[in-house]
Chains A and B, each alone.
Chain A
Amino acid sequence: MKKTLLLLCSLLIAFIAKSQESYPVNGSGDIRSGQFAFINANIVVNADQTITNGVLIIKGQKIESVGAGLAVPKGYVTIDLKGKYIYPSLIDAFSSYGIPETPRAVFAGRGVPVFTSTKEGAYNWNEAIRPEVHAKSIFNVDARKAEDLKKSGFGAVNTVIKDGIARGTSLAVTLSDESVNTVVLNDLTAANYSFNKGTAKTNYPSSLMGSISLLRQTYFDAAWYKNQKKEYNISLDEFNKTQSLPQIFDAGNWEDVLRADKIGDEFGKQYIFKSGGDEYKRIADIKATNGSFIIPINFPKAYDVEDPADAKNVTLAQMKNWELAPTNPAALEKAGINFAITAADLESPRDFWTNLRLAIDFGLTEKQALKALTEVPARILGISDKVGTLAKGKEANFLITSDNLFKKENIIFENWVQGKQYIVAQKDIKDLRGDYNLIIAGVGNLTLKIGGTISAYDANIERTGADSVKTKANFNRTGDLISLFFDLKKNPKGDVRLTGYLDKVSPVTFKGEAVLADGTVSNFTATYTNPIKEKEKKEEPKGTLATGKVIYPFVAFGEAEAPKQEATLFKNATVWTNEKDGILQNTDVLVEGGKIKSIGKGLSAGGAKVIDATGKHLTPGIIDEHSHIAIARGVNEGTQAVTSEVSIADVVESEDVNIYRQLAGGVTTSHLLHGSANPIGGQSQLIKLRWGQTPEGLKFGGNEGFIKFALGENVKQSNAGDFSTVRFPQTRMGVEQVYVDAFTRAKEYRTAWAAYNGAKNKTGLSAPRRDLELDCLVEILEGKRNITCHSYVQSEINMLMHVADSMDFKIRTFTHILEGYKMADKMAERGIAGSTFSDWWTYKMEVFEAIPYNGKLMSAVGVLTGFNSDDAEMARRLNQEAGKAVKYGNVSEEEAFKFVSLNPAKMLKIDNRVGSVKAGKDADLVLWSDNPLSVYAKAEKTFVDGIAYWDIQRDEVKRKEMKAEEARLIQKMLDAKNKGAKTQRPSLERAPLYDCETLEGDFTANGSHSQH
């Protein structure tokens, strides 16, 4: 009887019309007070406080009171929750609930270019900047989606429009399925950002560095907009208006978090980071951002690795991430980072609890888990006064559970949202599973075994004795009504159909009527006898929670412990000094504190480690003047002719295995260049190959800045397909005018700033608009930034030299410059260096007359000459390319090696630190097995700052260790699969390899997901 009442109650509640005062009523109203009292419950008020045997009283949408021993006033429905728990319902800080789905962006690389916004109205020039979009304006209640979330225990969410770089504002709502007007908790929770242009049709930005620059420029534009009268711009206006809100940055991985944090620092913003769940990989750097985090728990599934051939397609990094990703929440907790947990990014909402419990198994405390799902998101979203804990006056958002919320066997019975009950599972009988004695009149005694899960029961009928039988039965429960049918095959034949109801709770008893196949109707009772005998589930041995170590970088050949700098004495080597001493035989070199200390014969080791270098060659490290390794998501921002605002400095990628491979080829310094898609490309970044360091840690440090220019076929888009005939320039004539125009504007800009800065009285004056593109060009004009220019044929080389002369700037290096030999005298006159290929030619028209004697001719005429790679493969044998200068043109061996060491150091203006073996210089050294210009020479050890990042013997050991680690992980994945874990098929993912002409940029950001 009581049960029927309860059922009735829950039905009626659905009809409560919440007050929505401004709306007219159709006919007579039905306003109810919604007064309930929950008694005898364990009430978890917040993560730090639990009231045993407490009372929660709610009225309408709100909590009226919560405490121990409260009296229930009259007029309240009392619900006894003896032995049960009440929790504040959960909050997801990064949902897109109730927002129409954005169409999937498609890679727009091949169509007709779109330069400016196609959106009608006074909006920003770039469609990816859309701060004017407010989730509150398009949000609607979505009862079906709300139900999914409520099942998992969520009661409120922050809903974000996940499209664009400046994405506008989000809002917090409850998951009530009442009128949209009553569910809003905070209509402006945050302003949102990302590096992903989303559905924007404007081509710019096509790369990650372009996205970063666009955001940066937008901050400047918005600041300028406040004090100008020239234009009206809704986007910039809204951008300014939303600056006082919390700022949430959707960053896909730890590197993006650090990138975003840097921008935040520049503009005085502390972002809250929605991150990718891989923060454990660099937890100290993550901590140093001082940001709060919203982390996903979409842990990767194990890979199918039964087939060794398929298993090869799974990288060590993927396997390790599979193992370590569930430790991420615990790692953040341990580091003392403030974080919320989001169900966003999960493949299925069902994974939420599985994964959360997995995270708890791996050390996330239950207390922190609860905070991360209640108080922390409430605070982040500015809704602490309404949800997140149970307290008087707050929204009646709470869960009723069977047990401690985080226990594996816990069941969420009900999820109340704003005083409205949502039943997740029947609470009086949490579990019908067990063995029953089923007696059907006229059939006899049977055993009914109900197993499976509560949401999907799995029933069987058994009879012992003469007519012994075992058969599957179909069991359904609807509320307290049940139905069951099965076929015993004989005695009686045909289907037996039962319909009945739950009669008693202790022991569980069903009663009702049975209909046999012949139409006979009789009664049945089923009485609970034993708990179900579950297949013996072995307790997970705690040993499986042990994981491998985090490695730096998080790819193959990463190291758990960074290699150490140590004092080293190279004994008895052939030393290629690159100094006036030339190549010294039987010579010692002492390294200390990361610097070369002395060079000579019979040096004493002191405390230094001695390396016998007899028969070996010691050279300065190789310097690659033109490299595109270690760059994240695009080397070209080729969508405009001038993109001096973008910078490789923003997108250095430390987790690129090519760094290690090139160390194995003796490279110690690489100049990471923007591509060659446009006349004025982006700023470059010089790095040292300090394998294992963060992107910032790789940066050379203390060097002058450079920028990439480019001439010829790439910039005039000769080989870019039939659509690419729109962007100016399409001829070498046009290229010249792009430079003239750019530097003319830069000069005007410089003058405008000089006038403004020089004015004593600034009243009535407004500052010119900060333009990052022109800032960079002004740096060039002032000699603070150097140019390295991709170039091939003599006419264009000559042209740029003349433009530079007339516009009064300097060119440092022509790179590639395969026709440098035709212009060598004019380059030498101006002190312009030439960094070329040894022997590439005839792959396109502008290299038709390329010759391998180019290096020889340029250097003989007095041009500072080098060989570069532009290619991750060639870079690891630049020593051999230098050897080709001996072959083609008979360059002396000493001079040839300078082509890839001292000369590029000079081009890059770092020869005070690297490029030769000289006391006081950085200990960037390579120990070769043979003459370094020979095909037979192997780099046995490569030192950067005196640290052996490459050691051919250590490499051999490391490969064995990797094999063992892979074997361990494969075994673990097989075990996981055998235990029923979901798995995924391995598919080989190879990181893109970039060269100058790679236009496919940030395709992953445009696509469905990115993986690193």
Chain B
Amino acid sequence: MKKIIYQFIALSLASTSVFAQANIYPAKKQAGTFAIVGGTIHVGNGKVIQNGTVVFANGKITSVKEGNVAPQNVTVVNAAGKHIYPGFIAPSNSLGLVDVESVRATRDAQEVGSINPHVRSLIAYNTDSRVIATVRSNGTLLSQVTPEGGLVSGTSSIVQLDAWNWEDAAYVKDNGLHFNWPSSAAGGGGGRRFGGPVLSEEAIKERYQKQLLELKSYFAQAKAYADTDKPEIMNARFEAMKGLFNGAKKAFVKVNRQKDIIIAVQFFEEFGIKPVLVGAEEAVDVTSFLKEHNIPVIIYQSQSLPGNDDDDVYLPYKNAKILHDAGVLIAMSVDGYWQQRNLPFMAGTAAAYGLTKEEALAIITSNTAKILGIDKTTGTIEEGKDANIIISEGDALDMRTNNVTRAFIQGRDVNLDNVQKQLYKRYADKYGIKAD
């Protein structure tokens, strides 16, 4: 009842105030126990439970069972004919850091300089960005807020997408360090395209070697610093690097070319670090290496163009399947910020080109959780995990049927309205059309 009133308020506000979505409130802490019944539960780890029941209380899932087995005195959510998924997780993106890409004032993803391990994305994450609610509306409930640029881009955190401020949003703080691996390839610079000097092959090699040496020296010094109990001079950057060596932070490495992938992995392993590869366009060419070294990959969006003219036209669609078959742990990502709402369709594309639908689901849920190091609390619909759950009318990985009607983050009943829906209603009203 309370909810109905709440929704009513949201609707009436929609027709008057549009701009700042000031009428979309973060949900209150879960009160009482909820049971979602009657739907198809996609657990996220490959399992499917037809006509099951998910019960959650105090933000945690307390049971997942077949059949309609809702306990007494709980709020029942009827999901008959619907699909229940773990909330999707968007790795490696700038949601909340960028609001309008062309406007510098709204860009907070990239700090100046090339080695910035100490900059923290979390504190720039803008919970009031209009974009977040639109992403949530399609089923993504967690995001890795990721700094960009330079050689060492900075430190990321995991946030949940329904919060008053970044402090409340923080799901896991400061647990990722992000690297852009330098490229050894001649084609990468874009020099010719912009009329700049075309570097000779020797110059490129030299530059690459120099960058590698610098990076190696930097890591060595950072490690020495980390091994010291009380450093003589406090260095914020080295402080931020500490986590890499003691396991508190994961290394996420953007790297594309096959040779660079091998060099990068070996580099990190030399320092005892298992990196996560991000993008990794040519990972499909070194699958056995990745498998042997047990290196996970966050795939760049499947909906992209092949890198070379000669590539299979569907290669980016098939990347997930190729890596999965080789036994590499993979997750799916989408570039940018507003584009995050298409994350489920990237997984859907991977399903169209080889993965089963449940395997495809895993690359935006359980696999992602494993790779980000949050699988103890989320990524699947299993007892003991956070109640991060969405309900869709149809297959949520297909744009034709994705229609998320309910979402719970840590059990909190999330408002799925957004500024775009409100504008829709506003103009439907102008034209006397039903906004459905």
The stretch among A181-189, A465-473, A667-675, A818-826 that forms the contact with chain B is: A818-826
The reply to whether B195 and A109 contact each other, CB–CB distance below 8 Å, is yes
The reply to whether A933 and B428 contact each other, CB–CB distance below 8 Å, is no
Q: Which of B102, B194, B352 is A1000 in contact with, Cβ under 8 Å?
A: B194
B342's nearest neighbour on chain A, judged by CB, is A839
A993's nearest neighbour on chain B, judged by CB, is B305
B191 CB, min distance to chain A CBs, angstroms: 10
Would you call B259 an interface residue if the criterion is a C-beta within 8 Å of the partner chain's C-beta atoms? Answer: yes
The stretch among A312-320, A374-382, A611-619 that forms the contact with chain B is: A312-320
The stretch among B48-56, B222-230, B395-403 that forms the contact with chain A is: B395-403
Residues on the A chain within 8 Å of B351, using CB: 935-936
The reply to whether B433 and A880 contact each other, CB–CB distance below 8 Å, is no
With contacts A713-B102, A935-B349, A936-B398 taken as known, whether A316 is within 8 angstroms of B309 at the C-beta atoms is yes
The reply to whether A664 and B313 contact each other, CB–CB distance below 8 Å, is yes
The stretch among A217-225, A338-346, A365-373, A842-850 that forms the contact with chain B is: A842-850
The reply to whether A936 and B348 contact each other, CB–CB distance below 8 Å, is yes
CA distance A962 to B313 in the complex (A): 13
Residues on the A chain within 8 Å of B8, using CB: none
**B304, B308, B403: residue with the most chain A Cβ atoms closer than 10 Å:** B308
With contacts A661-B313, A851-B420, A935-B398 taken as known, whether A842 is within 8 angstroms of B431 at the C-beta atoms is no
Residues on the B chain within 8 Å of A883, using CB: 398-400
8 A Cβ contacts from B358-378 to A: none
The reply to whether B424 and A857 contact each other, CB–CB distance below 8 Å, is yes
Chain B contact patch, size range: 35 or more
The reply to whether B399 and A851 contact each other, CB–CB distance below 8 Å, is no
The reply to whether B309 and A934 contact each other, CB–CB distance below 8 Å, is no
With contacts A657-B309, A880-B399, A987-B187 taken as known, whether A936 is within 8 angstroms of B424 at the C-beta atoms is no
A103 CB, min distance to chain B CBs, angstroms: 14
Q: Give per-residue flags for B222-253: 1 if the beta carbon is below 8 A from chain A beta carbons, else 0.
A: 00000000000000000000000000000000
Tally of A-B Cβ pairs under 8 angstroms: 165
CA distance A215 to B238 in the complex (A): 61
Residues on the A chain within 8 Å of B307, using CB: 990
The reply to whether A1003 and B194 contact each other, CB–CB distance below 8 Å, is yes
CA distance A937 to B201 in the complex (A): 44
The reply to whether A857 and B103 contact each other, CB–CB distance below 8 Å, is no
A660 CB, min distance to chain B CBs, angstroms: 7
With contacts A825-B431, A988-B185 taken as known, whether A843 is within 8 angstroms of B309 at the C-beta atoms is no
Would you call B258 an interface residue if the criterion is a C-beta within 8 Å of the partner chain's C-beta atoms? Answer: yes
B351's nearest neighbour on chain A, judged by CB, is A936
Would you call A877 an interface residue if the criterion is a C-beta within 8 Å of the partner chain's C-beta atoms? Answer: yes
A963's nearest neighbour on chain B, judged by CB, is B310
Residues on the B chain within 8 Å of A933, using CB: 399-400
The reply to whether A890 and B310 contact each other, CB–CB distance below 8 Å, is no
A655's nearest neighbour on chain B, judged by CB, is B309
The reply to whether A962 and B310 contact each other, CB–CB distance below 8 Å, is yes
8 A Cβ contacts from B148-205 to A: 185-188, 192-195, 201
The reply to whether A1007 and B195 contact each other, CB–CB distance below 8 Å, is yes
Would you call A931 an interface residue if the criterion is a C-beta within 8 Å of the partner chain's C-beta atoms? Answer: yes
A931's nearest neighbour on chain B, judged by CB, is B400
With contacts A660-B313, A851-B423, A886-B400 taken as known, whether A990 is within 8 angstroms of B187 at the C-beta atoms is yes
Would you call A309 an interface residue if the criterion is a C-beta within 8 Å of the partner chain's C-beta atoms? Answer: yes
The reply to whether A316 and B305 contact each other, CB–CB distance below 8 Å, is no
Residues on the A chain within 8 Å of B421, using CB: 853
8 A Cβ contacts from A550-574 to B: 555-557
Q: Give per-residue flags for A40-55: 1 if the beta carbon is below 8 A from chain B beta carbons, else 0.
A: 0000000000000000
CA distance A660 to B436 in the complex (A): 38
CA distance A157 to B285 in the complex (A): 52
Residues on the B chain within 8 Å of A985, using CB: 186, 201
Residues on the A chain within 8 Å of B337, using CB: 842
A828's nearest neighbour on chain B, judged by CB, is B431
CA distance A72 to B11 in the complex (A): 112
A962's nearest neighbour on chain B, judged by CB, is B310
CA distance A938 to B314 in the complex (A): 10
B313 CB, min distance to chain A CBs, angstroms: 5
Residues on the A chain within 8 Å of B348, using CB: 935-936
A660's nearest neighbour on chain B, judged by CB, is B313
CA distance A719 to B398 in the complex (A): 35
The reply to whether A843 and B424 contact each other, CB–CB distance below 8 Å, is no
Would you call A872 an interface residue if the criterion is a C-beta within 8 Å of the partner chain's C-beta atoms? Answer: yes
With contacts A309-B258, A822-B427, A935-B352 taken as known, whether A861 is within 8 angstroms of B433 at the C-beta atoms is yes
Q: Which of A843, A857, A877 is B433 in contact with, Cβ under 8 Å?
A: A857
CA distance A167 to B136 in the complex (A): 60
Would you call B130 an interface residue if the criterion is a C-beta within 8 Å of the partner chain's C-beta atoms? Answer: yes
CA distance A1007 to B195 in the complex (A): 7
A874 CB, min distance to chain B CBs, angstroms: 8
Would you call B414 an interface residue if the criterion is a C-beta within 8 Å of the partner chain's C-beta atoms? Answer: no
Would you call A83 an interface residue if the criterion is a C-beta within 8 Å of the partner chain's C-beta atoms? Answer: no
With contacts A315-B309, A842-B338, A987-B187 taken as known, whether A887 is within 8 angstroms of B420 at the C-beta atoms is no
The reply to whether B195 and A315 contact each other, CB–CB distance below 8 Å, is no
The reply to whether A934 and B398 contact each other, CB–CB distance below 8 Å, is yes
Would you call B312 an interface residue if the criterion is a C-beta within 8 Å of the partner chain's C-beta atoms? Answer: yes
Residues on the B chain within 8 Å of A880, using CB: 345, 399
Would you call A534 an interface residue if the criterion is a C-beta within 8 Å of the partner chain's C-beta atoms? Answer: no
Q: Give per-residue flags for A963-1002: 1 if the beta carbon is below 8 A from chain B beta carbons, else 0.
A: 0001000000000000000000101111111000000100
Would you call A475 an interface residue if the criterion is a C-beta within 8 Å of the partner chain's C-beta atoms? Answer: no
Residues on the B chain within 8 Å of A853, using CB: 420-421, 423-424, 435
The reply to whether B310 and A966 contact each other, CB–CB distance below 8 Å, is yes
Would you call A62 an interface residue if the criterion is a C-beta within 8 Å of the partner chain's C-beta atoms? Answer: no
Would you call B42 an interface residue if the criterion is a C-beta within 8 Å of the partner chain's C-beta atoms? Answer: no
Would you call B63 an interface residue if the criterion is a C-beta within 8 Å of the partner chain's C-beta atoms? Answer: no
Would you call A457 an interface residue if the criterion is a C-beta within 8 Å of the partner chain's C-beta atoms? Answer: no
Q: Which of B131, B186, B305 is A987 in contact with, Cβ under 8 Å?
A: B186
B19 CB, min distance to chain A CBs, angstroms: 9
8 A Cβ contacts from A129-170 to B: none
B316's nearest neighbour on chain A, judged by CB, is A873
Residues on the B chain within 8 Å of A109, using CB: 194-195
The reply to whether B201 and A934 contact each other, CB–CB distance below 8 Å, is no
The reply to whether B338 and A935 contact each other, CB–CB distance below 8 Å, is no
Would you call A852 an interface residue if the criterion is a C-beta within 8 Å of the partner chain's C-beta atoms? Answer: yes
CA distance A555 to B313 in the complex (A): 13
With contacts A822-B427, A955-B313 taken as known, whether A848 is within 8 angstroms of B402 at the C-beta atoms is no
Would you call A106 an interface residue if the criterion is a C-beta within 8 Å of the partner chain's C-beta atoms? Answer: yes
Residues on the B chain within 8 Å of A1003, using CB: 192-195
CA distance A714 to B408 in the complex (A): 41
The reply to whether B399 and A887 contact each other, CB–CB distance below 8 Å, is yes
B398's nearest neighbour on chain A, judged by CB, is A935
Would you call B99 an interface residue if the criterion is a C-beta within 8 Å of the partner chain's C-beta atoms? Answer: yes
Residues on the B chain within 8 Å of A872, using CB: 305
Would you call B101 an interface residue if the criterion is a C-beta within 8 Å of the partner chain's C-beta atoms? Answer: yes
Q: Give per-residue flags for A856-887: 1 if the beta carbon is below 8 A from chain B beta carbons, else 0.
A: 11001100000000001110110010011011
With contacts A315-B309, A955-B313 taken as known, whether A841 is within 8 angstroms of B338 at the C-beta atoms is yes
CA distance A992 to B427 in the complex (A): 39
Q: Which of A874, A887, A959 is B400 in contact with, Cβ under 8 Å?
A: A887
CA distance A789 to B312 in the complex (A): 35
Q: Give per-residue flags for B27-71: 1 if the beta carbon is below 8 A from chain A beta carbons, else 0.
A: 000000000000000000000000000000000000000000000
Extra contacts, 15 of them, besides A315-B310, A556-B310, A844-B100 (Cβ < 8 A), are A309-B257, A309-B258, A315-B308, A821-B427, A842-B337, A843-B102, A844-B101, A857-B428, A872-B305, A873-B303, A880-B399, A936-B398, A985-B201, A991-B309, A1000-B194
- CB pairs A–B below 8 angstroms (14 shown): A313-B308, A316-B309, A661-B313, A719-B102, A842-B100, A853-B423, A872-B305, A890-B436, A934-B400, A935-B397, A966-B310, A988-B188, A989-B187, A990-B187
Residue positions of A touching B, CB distance < 8 A: 106-107, 109, 309, 312-313, 315-317, 555-557, 657-658, 660-661, 664, 713, 718-719, 821-822, 824-825, 839-845, 848-849, 851-853, 856-857, 860-861, 872-874, 876-877, 880, 883-884, 886-887, 889-890, 893, 931, 933-938, 955, 959, 962, 966, 985, 987-993, 1000, 1003, 1006-1007
User: Which 7 A-B pairs give the minimum distances between C-beta atoms?
Assistant: A107-B195, A988-B187, A844-B102, A935-B348, A853-B424, A987-B186, A556-B310
